[in-house]
Amino acid sequence: MSDPRVVESGEGEAYVLLGSEHITFKRRGVPGEECSIFENATQAGYQGPSPHLHHNQDEDFYVLEGRFEFRVQGRTAEGGPGTFVHSPKGTVHTFRNVGEGDGKLLVTVSPAGGFEDVVEEFGKPTQEESPPLRSGAPDAATAERYAAVASKHGIEMVPTAPAVN
């Protein structure tokens, strides 16, 4: 069981993931038991992570700021502040910031252990409080390294079918 604590705005372990997501952990739960909660801030136009699934964790998204599009198991939904999306373990999902400005999600992964380890291993610690500027998707080598780290922690990147013209 974890100890009670208060994490103020702007506080928490912060990382930049894939050069574009600003992840700030508000709670890191006991792996396999409790949940972990973090803020995920992105710039307008951020295309989100590649479609993926968590083999061991449910992932919940709550929009705090901005407007996001979510794809969960083939369904697409768009929403602003107050929108909630649940992605049970084994469900292919992704999101993107479709708003005109920075967006912020409150994300819960349950049980803890998995995604948090990916962020710690692949992300870069930061003292910045806002999402970094980034253009484009990560290069193929970075995406491949990220997929390998994610796989080690129970997250599978799902290839997308090429567009048909």
pTM for this prediction: 0.90
Q: Which fold has domain 13-128+135-155?
A: Jelly Rolls (2.60.120)
Domain positions in the chain: 13-128+135-155
> CA–CA separation, 133 vs 124, rounded Å?
15
Among the ranges given (16-25, 61-70, 80-89), the one the predictor scored with the smallest mean pLDDT = 16-25
What pLDDT does residue 134 have?
64
Tell me the average pLDDT of the chain: 90
> Per DSSP, what are the bridge partners of residue 104?
41, 65
Question: Is the confidence at residue 161, as pLDDT, over 60?
Answer: no
Give the list of residues 6+ apart from residue 113 with CB closer than 8 angstroms, or none.
29, 31, 32, 56, 57
Please compute the mean of the pLDDT values over residues 102-115 and round it to a whole number.
Answer: 95
